[in-house]
């Protein structure tokens, strides 16, 4: 069901001209990050299938009509994750080097999800989700890839202690 839902969401986004990347959080849910985040609310209004429910600084929560039911779709502001680069540079980097092109569009690799979890202010609460993802089969080496992403975005010093802490927690609990 989520696959058909995701395909429909992505088709509609393409139809209204929104450039996006799918961020799979590991539990089957997804969020989208887009270029032109500041204008996305107006773009979503071009479609009868989207409605904006809430907008906070870093996220827009919307609903999408699928099979006669409104279902939640979240859009994250890429500027919040872009370090010393612009939001569009972050999107371009992830598309070019850290994602896989699928039939639904670009899907960010797991290390991008780890990076996004560790870059935010309350990153500690997401260490458990990274641990869960590694327990179900993702390689621990993806945590090291977070530093590579941080280097590219100019925030390696901020991220090094977070990555080391995460690795220590993961290794102690595997």
How is 134-154 classified by DSSP, letter by letter?
HHTT--THHHHHHHHHHHHHT
Q: Domain extents for the chain?
A: 1-108, 110-174
Look at residue 24 in the predicted model and tell me its pLDDT. Answer: 80
pLDDT band at 2 (very low <50, low <70, confident <90, very high): low
Q: What average pLDDT does this structure show over 117-144? A: 95
Look at residue 92 in the predicted model and tell me its pLDDT. Answer: 95
Look at residue 159 in the predicted model and tell me its pLDDT. Answer: 98
| Sheet of strand 99-102: strand arrangement | 50-56, 59-66, 69-76, 30-34, 20-24, 105-108, 99-102
Look at residue 1 in the predicted model and tell me its pLDDT. Answer: 44
pLDDT for 68-106, tens place per residue? 999 999 999 999 999 999 999 999 999 999 999 998 999
pLDDT for 11-66, tens place per residue? 999 999 999 999 986 555 678 888 889 899 999 999 999 999 999 888 999 999 99
């Amino acid at each position: 069901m989520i696959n058909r839902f995701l395909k429909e969401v992505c088709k509609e986004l393409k139809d209204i001209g929104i450039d996006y990347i799918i961020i799979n959080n590991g539990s089957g849910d997804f969020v989208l990050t887009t270029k032109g985040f500041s204008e996305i609310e107006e773009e979503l209004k071009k479609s009868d299938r989207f409605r904006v429910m809430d907008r906070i600084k870093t996220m827009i929560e919307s609903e999408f009509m699928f099979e006669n039911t409104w279902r939640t779709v979240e859009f994250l502001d890429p500027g919040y994750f872009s370090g010393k680069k612009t939001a569009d540079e972050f999107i371009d980097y992830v598309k070019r080097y850290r994602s896989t092109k699928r039939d639904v569009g670009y899907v960010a690799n797991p290390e991008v999800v780890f990076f996004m979890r560790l870059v935010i202010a309350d990153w500690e609460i997401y260490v458990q989700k990274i641990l869960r993802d590694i327990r179900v089969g993702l390689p621990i080496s993806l945590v090291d890839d977070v530093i590579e992403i941080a280097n590219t975005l100019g925030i390696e010093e901020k991220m090094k202690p977070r990555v080391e802490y995460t690795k220590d927690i993961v290794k102690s609990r595997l």
